[in-house]
Each structure stands twice: as structure tokens, then as C-alpha cells.
Structure 1
Amino acid sequence: MGTRRVIKEFLTYRNPGPLNLPKGKGFGHPTDTHIVLPSWLFEDEVNYYAAKFDKIGFTGGINYYRNFDLNWELTAPWTGAQVKIPVKFVVGDQDLVYKSLGVEDFIHKGGFKKFVPFLEEVVMLEGVAHFIQQEKPDEISKHIHDFIKKFH
């Protein structure tokens, strides 16, 4: 498929729910399908990321998922721990993590609040996927700034 293609596919993925990569179909469509980049992503950026991943590969990122069991073991001492500082949570409504495995219900139906008792606000950006800081940089910056300035 090639590194550039993988980068483009991953950054433009808009199928909320668990990531499904069927063998031989890449990201669910033929790998020679033209990808139109969204307004927030430029060919120069894709080329930059691809050049970096061409040098080091994807193994580091993939190893995180290969090590789920070990990650759970290593973080076991913090099971049930709470985040006890004020929090504003921002997520895109098209984020594949947000839309998978019950995460959306967990966030909005009280589960998240149990672990983040000082959760002040959940902001859902419409039409935004996993890379919110790239897709909506001005909105994200404003949310961060507005949240931080409350503490002055």
C-alpha cells in the first residue's frame, strides 16, 4: 500500500466505530482509490509524515496495541484511580475511538464522571474525527485558552 497511502488513509478515516482493515481492502475500499485531502491536510504534511515513517516504520505505534495485556498489568496499581483536577474533555463526533466499544455511552451516561469527578464539560465537535487539533486548530486553541484562563 505504501507509507504515503497509509498516512492519507489514517488521517482521513471517517468510519466511526472500531477500525476494521479487511485483508486486501486496506481501509475498506480499493487501495488505488484517489483520496481527496480535507482542507486541513496538505500534501506537504503527508510527505513529511511519510518520510519519517519510511525511516522508522510503524512498529512503535503498532507495538502499543500488541502489548495491551502488558499495559493493563503495568497500570494495574492505578485501577479505579480518579483524575482529581478540573477537566474539559473535547472529542470529535466522528472519532473512531469515541464511537467504538461503548465509549460514547461511557462518556455521556456517567461512567466517565466516576473516574473524572471534576469533569466540567464535554465538548463534542461535529464532523471532526480523531485528529481534532489538526482538523479544528482554532476551535481547540480557544477551548484550551478559555479553560486555562479560568484559573488566573
Structure 2
Amino acid sequence: MRRTALPQHREVSVNGITMHIAEQGEGPLVLLLHGFPESWYSWRHQFQPLAEAGYHVVAPDQRGYGGTDQPSNVDEYSIFHLVGDVVGLIHALGERQAVVIGHDWGAPVAWNTAMMRPDLIRGVGGLSVAPAPRGPVPPLVAARQRFGDGFYQIYFQEPGVADAELNQDIRSTFRKTLAATSGESAGSAATPTAPAGGGFLSAMPEPEELPSWLTEADIDAYTEQYQRNGFTGGLNWYRNIDRNWALTAPWQGAPITAPALHITGDRDLVRGFYPPDYLERLPEQLPGLRTVLDLPGCGHWTQQERPDEVNQALLEFLAGL
């Protein structure tokens, strides 16, 4: 039986914070950026295939998550800070360029890094979340008009509220969240809302069984990693959504010119945030788009639910750069 190599772990100083990273392999740098509520661990299935193909694979715990520092001020989680963390990490690893792949919240960080610092990015990819044109009004204003006050991103805005709910039982939070928005859940594509008087988890039942791609050991890993910082750091990313809209005004209409990849699942709840023809319109923002993979039956946790297809797409994209 072939032994599975495990990523190595260390801390690096990046952009004024201490960042925990997991890494494996040698060669051109590939950064894998997780989303909410996740950590480096969400890329556990990608390390070995990419490392064996000749890449230096690095997945950080991003700002406020897991083993990385959690600044106390909400305004220290703006898109400028998050892009700055990626730029700082590339330099801290002794590299001049990288391929940056993000999932969920990690995707906007990847897209914005490629847009703001094209000199550093050889290729860029987003799983689940596609680049969205900067709209005429702040995003939360538009979200409230479209989805109502219970929309989860609006519920997340009040400091301490969602924090307390999600931190009350970390293990249960992960079991409910990962199962409810998996492609195997009947309600996976539903827009997440907090009912009046309820919370983010109110509509997410405790699963009797986990999805086939998820184990109790995976839940153990996430639970242990969140014992240090909890959910506040990740929630602070949401609390900068409208601030990010204001900060990115200079890039209004700017294309992302790097070679690009987008992977989505047809049962991903994020699909409900976009127009029905958004996949066909991606080249308008991504003139270097090379790969679009639409996975039938896949929910929100793209690279965890469908690692084989994702790994194959990533390897083909990387080989073509």
C-alpha cells in the first residue's frame, strides 16, 4: 500500500500577522485559499496530487482563522488586508509569482489579487464563487432588497450575534453547515436565511448521517482548529462587504487578465446569487478564461465533495500555464 504523504506545517510572518500554513511539494508555487467556515484542511485532497505533479502547494489558514492571528478590529479584514496577505505570503515564501486558487470567500481574494497585482499572478481560479461586476449600490443594500433582512450575510453583520450562535457548539455547527449545503442534501441550493427570531443554523437540522464525502474525523479536525479563534475572524470578512465595495471603486470595470479557471456545482447555493447565464458571460470579466467545469450534483464544498474531478481540472489548468 502506498503511504499518503502529509503536508508540513509552519508559521510565517505576513503583512503584520503570524500566519499558519500547510505545505507540500517543490516547484512552482500554488496557493490554495479556503472559505467560510473552513481552514487549510478543506484542501486536504489536493495536496498530494498537486505536489506529485511538481508543484509547491501551500494552503494557509487565512486572516482570523485557525492557527493564524485574529486581529481585533473589524476593519482589519478588508479586501486590501486580504489581498495584502496573499502578496505578503508569496514574498515570505521567497517567490516572485504564484498561481492562486480560492474557494468560497477565498475566491474573491484570488480574483482581487489577480486584478490588483497581475504582475504576481501566473494563473487564477475560483471554486464556487465567480467574479462579480461591481454594482451601482453597496452589495448589502442590494442583498436586502433581493433576499430580505434575514439573508445570512445581513444576519452576520451585528458583532457578537452570529459569533455566539456558531461558537456555542462548534462540532454541531460544522455537522449542520457542511451537511445542509452539500450536494447530497435536498435543500442544498436554498438561499440561506435566518428566520425572524432565529439564527443561521435554525433551518439546518442536525444530520443523522454525514454526506458520503465527509467523516466524523473531518468534523473532529475542523472542531479542533476552531477551538483557538472560533468564528469571529471569518465573520469579520462579511462585516467588510460594503467597505470593500467602496475601496474597490478604482477597479470599476477592470478585467482580470490572468489565465483563469472556474469550477462550480449545479447544486451550490451560490448559484442562486447569479443570473442564469452567468457562466456564458464569464469571459467578459475573464478574457483569459481557459476552463469552466460545472459539476452535476455538487453542492457548495466543491473540492471536498468532488476531489477527483477538481484535481484533474486543476492539474490540466496548471500544466497549460
**TM-score where L is the length of structure 1:** 0.83
Give the Cα–Cα distance (whole angstroms) in 1 for the partners of residues 305 and 199 of structure 2: 29
Matched, 1:79 2:79: no
- Residue 118 (structure 1) aligns with: 288
Shift of 1:24: 5.8
SS of equivalent residue, structure 1 residue 122 = strand
> Is the alpha carbon distance of 1:24 and 1:144 closer, same or farther for their aligned partners in structure 2, counting shifts above 3 Å?
closer
1:97-136 equivalences under 5 Å are 97-100=270-273, 103-105=274-276, 107-110=278-281, 112-136=282-306
Matched, 1:26 2:201: yes
Shift of 1:28: 1.2
Structure 2 gaps of 5+ residues are 1-167, 182-187
- Residue 211 (structure 2) aligns with: 38
Determine if contact 2:179/2:207 at 8 Å carries over to the other structure: no
Deviations 1:70-96 (A, max 9, x none): 111222222211111222211111111
Give the Cα–Cα distance (whole angstroms) in 1 for the partners of residues 300 and 275 of structure 2: 14
Determine if contact 1:93/1:99 at 8 Å carries over to the other structure: no
Higher strand share: 2
Shift of 1:34: 3.5
- Residue 47 (structure 1) aligns with: 220
Determine if contact 2:261/2:291 at 8 Å carries over to the other structure: yes
> Is the alpha carbon distance of 1:71 and 1:25 closer, same or farther for their aligned partners in structure 2, counting shifts above 3 Å?
closer
Shift of 1:13: 2.2
Runs of 4+ in 1 over 3 A off after TM superposition: none
**Greater RCO (Cα-Cα under 8 Å, separation 6 or more):** 1
- Residue 10 (structure 1) aligns with: 177
> Is the alpha carbon distance of 1:29 and 1:45 closer, same or farther for their aligned partners in structure 2, counting shifts above 3 Å?
closer
Identity over aligned residues, as a percent? Answer: 34
Counterpart AA for 2:233: G
Shift of 1:48: 1.5
Pick which of 8-17 and 122-131 moved more. Answer: 8-17
- Residue 11 (structure 2) aligns with: none
Counterpart AA for 2:262: F
SS of equivalent residue, structure 2 residue 201 = coil
Determine if contact 2:176/2:207 at 8 Å carries over to the other structure: no
> CA-atom RMSD, angstroms?
2.1
Matched, 1:141 2:308: no
Give the Cα–Cα distance (whole angstroms) in 1 for the partners of residues 257 and 285 of structure 2: 8
SS of equivalent residue, structure 1 residue 89 = strand
Aligned residues: 146
Shift of 1:46: 0.5
Counterpart AA for 2:258: I
> Is the alpha carbon distance of 1:118 and 1:47 closer, same or farther for their aligned partners in structure 2, counting shifts above 3 Å?
same
Give the Cα–Cα distance (whole angstroms) in 2 for the partners of residues 148 and 134 of structure 1: 19
Give the Cα–Cα distance (whole angstroms) in 2 for the partners of residues 104 and 50 of structure 1: 35
Give the Cα–Cα distance (whole angstroms) in 2 for the partners of residues 93 and 145 of structure 1: 22
Shift of 1:17: 3.9
Determine if contact 2:259/2:288 at 8 Å carries over to the other structure: yes
Matched, 1:60 2:60: no
Higher helix share: 1
SS of equivalent residue, structure 2 residue 270 = coil
